[in-house]
Chains A and B, each alone.
Chain A
Amino acid sequence: MVLKVTKILAFQTLSGIYSAREFVWWYNGHPDYSGLKPDLKSTDTAVILGQGNVALDVARILLRPTTELASTDIARHALSALEESSIRKVFLIGRRGPVQAALTAKELREVLGIKNVHIRIKESDMSVTPADEEEMKNSRARKRIYELLSKAAAAAGTSKSDPDQRELHFVFFRQPDRFLESNERKGYVSGVNLEKTILDSTESGKQIAVGTGEFEDLNGSLMLKAIGYKSVPINGLPFDHKKGAVPNVSGRVVSQTLENLSQTEPGLYVCGWLKRGPVGIIATNLYCAEETVGSISEDIEKGVFKSSKAGSKGLMQLLEKREVKKVDFSGWEKIDAKEQQMGNERNKPREKLVTWKDLLAAAAAN
């Protein structure tokens, strides 16, 4: 998975810019990212590009009182960094309006309810057009999300501003044009240049953001990109680059399409985001899996392919031959037990092991 390619990627070399994905892996203890060391001490402002659930998740971690985080299974290195963090303001930037925001109600409710955080939304951003009304009419979810944001905007107007208070700003109708480099610290990001947008209706009724040519800067030294994912193709695997997914029919990989008839590759199946694009919640994946497994079962019954492959036994032999380190389920159980035991000592559900060395050692222990 890589972040969607935008021209902003060209400036990724500035320090202080992270993809939300790396950041989430960092606080969740992914062994490849435990050494990320994001700088949370040289700025009071973090800017998150995107308003989906991942963006909300990152905002939540940056703003929630660390005393509350201390009893979760957040990675220890992240908790320490957050305890020393100077970040007090978080901006969530969306290129469209509150009616189009990608977040969902439950996650929004949680972030709006964080203790000691002031929500800031411009009332002018909350005005709706007839096209917006239409979108809300067709989707109860959108309507309820809009109402939640409206209420928060109205409450924001009346609350007093306290310099020590943490703030969460929802910024609508702004799309990032480029990151800005700091003059004082070469190689570090100091802000983002945003272009104001307006919405344009397309034929399908969907509204898209269109730049107006008016720009403004937003300062901040921690930038997080949470604007979606894109699958990467594998050599030899059919791939639809536009959709960012493997072409398939009910999970059966399509090798080619001739005159609207899809020819599927016998014995090759796909599931999850690679099948549907990066969309959906956990329960969506549940049914996606059911569909693909259904196809596999059907094909086995129909004798669509004769597999002479060696199966899991063959896989184990191959791994042994190549001397690849592996962890089986009982190894995982040992890791699980160790993490829970360590967590117990600190009033957390678990204390995650965050290096490959520690994980392999725990898996191999007696």
Chain B
Amino acid sequence: MLGHRISRFGSAIVKQLAREGYLSATYGTRNLQRSYGHYLPSLPMVQRQTRTSQEAFFLNNHRFYTASATSSDETEKITIIFVDKDGEEIPVKVPIGMSVLEAAHENDIDLEGACEASLACSTCHVIVMDTEYYNKLEEPTDEENDMLDLAFGLTETSRLGCQVIASPELDGVRLAIPSATRNFAVDGFVPKPH
């Protein structure tokens, strides 16, 4: 019931944002489509910023967020630090229960999620930079391991971003995004270390 009221409120907020031109064609729509996992060529990033909770609600239809601009965000958040291929560190606030892939998309981090988190690809491959944090994670399932087998630049602490869920003990974790995902370890191809 509360969810329904919020959802109507949320869609009203989004309509207002759209009218104000805030959800522009390149920025808003791209990220809308992104959350549905459609592949798009990367557009130059408009600006790095954490989404407002209104956008977060609209785009992430799996989770409940407050849509009101004034009420406080009650979900606890942790910090995840993404490290891109140039070594740049991007800290983001991630609500507990959100997957790393969703968190990346919410924050314009360049992490592909071609199969929409259905464990049918390895494009959301991330490397947990500290073994201590890696060990805190639950063992990957067989299905995740099957896909990790095919990932480029696989390491001992690699995981699929769609399967890693933010939890309190992961606060401060650093996740590296592999530099090249063009090739997959199939059909005898041996990936060159990067």
Contact = CB atoms under 8 A, between A and B. Distances in A.
B41 interface: yes
A282 B146 contact: no
A183 interface: no
Interface in A271-285: 279-284
Interface residues of A, number: 22
A4 interface: no
A105 B114 CA distance: 19
Nearest to B182: A287
B76 interface: no
A206 interface: yes
A139 interface: yes
B183 A284 contact: yes
B143 interface: yes
Nearest to B39: A286
B191 to A, nearest CB: 10
B134 interface: no
A138 interface: yes
A206 B185 contact: no
Nearest to B142: A109
B186 A281 contact: yes
Contact of B146 (A104, A138, A291): A104
A131 B66 CA distance: 59
Interface in A122-144: 138-141, 144
A140 B187 contact: no
Contact of A283 (B121, B143, B188): B121
A141 B191 CA distance: 13
A282 B121 contact: yes
A105 B148 CA distance: 10
B54 interface: no
B134 to A, nearest CB: 16
Interface string B126-170: 000000000000000011011111100010000000000000000
Contact of B187 (A109, A206, A280, A282): A280
Contact of B150 (A102, A109, A138, A281): A281
Contacts of B182: 287, 290-291
Interface in A78-111: 102, 104-106, 109
Contact of A284 (B145, B184, B188): B184
Interface in A314-361: none
Nearest to B154: A140
Contacts of A140: 148-149, 154, 185
B123 A283 contact: yes
Given A140-B154, A141-B150, A282-B121, A287 B145 contact: no
B149 A141 contact: yes
Interface residues of B, number: 26
Given A104-B146, A105-B145, A284 B186 contact: yes
Contacts of B149: 104-105, 140-141, 144
A105 B181 CA distance: 20
B107 interface: no
B145 A104 contact: no
Contact of A287 (B147, B150, B181, B186): B181
A139 B122 contact: no
A206 B188 contact: yes
A283 B185 contact: no
B190 interface: yes
Contacts of B188: 206, 279
B146 A105 contact: yes
A260 to B, nearest CB: 21
Contacts of A287: 181-183
Interface string A189-216: 0000000000000000010000000000
Interface in B171-194: 181-190
Interface of B: 39, 41, 114-115, 121-123, 142-143, 145-150, 154, 181-190
Shortest beta-carbon contacts, A-B, top 7: A141-B149, A279-B187, A105-B146, A106-B146, A287-B182, A283-B121, A284-B184
15 contacts: A106-B147, A138-B190, A140-B185, A141-B185, A141-B186, A279-B188, A280-B184, A280-B187, A281-B121, A281-B184, A283-B115, A283-B121, A284-B186, A286-B123, A287-B181
